[in-house]
Amino acid sequence: MVERDVSPRRHQARSRAAGRHRGDVEAAFAATVDALGSLAYDGARVSASVIDTTSGRALLAVDERVVLPVAGVGRLLLLIEVAAQLEEGRLHGDRLQRMARDTAGGPGLWQFLQEPTLQVPDLATLVGAAADAWATNALLSTVGIEAVRLRAESLGVDRSAVLDRVRDRRGPDDAPDQAVAAAAELSWLMRGLALGEVVDEATSNRVLGWVSLGMDTTLVAGAFGLDPLAHRGLDHGLQLVAVTGTGPGIRSETGVLRGPSSSVSYAVTVGFEDDSLQRRLAVVEALRTMGADILDHVHA
């Protein structure tokens, strides 16, 4: 999969809301449209989708079918395959060996632990909680990229894919990105997980259990005011499950936020020239603006 050729002007943020209350929905996400639109006019590649978790009604769509690199967000597809294989009995509590192949650093904790082997469910926990690079590579080597691809296709996900293992450096013979995705598919995938419809309820619950431990609330979820290290339970009527992906020039997040009045599934990716801290902070600020609009919607 490759990114579509989209100019900044064509990439202007636009909101399309379904249902009788189209104007009300657009107004609810007006700040998001302005923030993402400003990034697009500045040359960033922007894709975003927000849908009502219960009904599937579109609340916001910003070039939602454009395929962009999403870095660690691709681990969501990996975890779905791992969970499905555990439920099917093809994977068990096997202990996998830690290997420094392709990544001597990267995010996560396993590289700093004394234990050289861990069971598959523990590795999935590290991947869900901390986007652990070494655990990701161990699981991906075990289940295989092809299995992840076939599982995604069976779920109707044909624009989003894991392309490669986590690497410190990418050479000319490596895939250009770790993973790519379309925001529309990510938001629908998160909705399916929340409803227990991805493969089956048991598989969905396994995946939700792993990613609900996610400790990165620096992007969209930074607007929710939750404890970044402990947000599995209700907190002021809110419950969050989110997956983030970060890298040079990439900021991406997909998740589900339940609130007192409604629940939304969302995804957003911004690809940008990461040539200054100011430009990077502008992206983070725009994503938090989107988070504020989401929070207002579920807390209305």
How confident is the model over 112-171, as pLDDT tens digits? Answer: 999 999 999 999 999 999 999 999 999 999 999 999 999 999 999 999 999 999 988 888
Which pLDDT band holds residue 104 (cuts at 50, 70, 90)?
low
Q: What is the pLDDT of residues 130-147, one digit of tens each?
A: 999 999 999 999 999 999
Say what the pLDDT of residue 100 is.
66
Say what the pLDDT of residue 172 is.
86
For domain 36-295, say whether CATH 3.40.710.10 is its number.
yes
Nearest to 3 by CA among 74, 72, 70: 70
Domain locations along the chain: 36-295
Say what the pLDDT of residue 73 is.
97
Q: What is the pLDDT of residues 19-48, one digit of tens each?
A: 334 455 567 899 999 999 999 999 999 999
Cβ contacts of 2 within 8 Å, gap of 6 or more? 67
Nearest to 262 by CA among 292, 284, 239, 241: 239
pLDDT: is 6 or 135 the higher one? 135
Phi, psi of 241 (to 5 degrees): -130, 125
Say what the pLDDT of residue 76 is.
98
Nearest to 70 by CA among 189, 153, 229: 189
Quote the mean pLDDT of the chain.
89
Which ranges of 51-199 does DSSP label H, i.e. alpha helix?
75-88, 120-130, 133-143, 145-154, 183-194
pLDDT over 50 at 16, yes or no: no
Is 147 exposed, middle or buried (CB count within 10 Å of its CB: 0-12, 13-18, 19+)? Answer: middle
Would you say 273 and 279 are in contact if contact means Cβ atoms under 8 Å apart?
yes
Which pLDDT band holds residue 10 (cuts at 50, 70, 90)?
very low
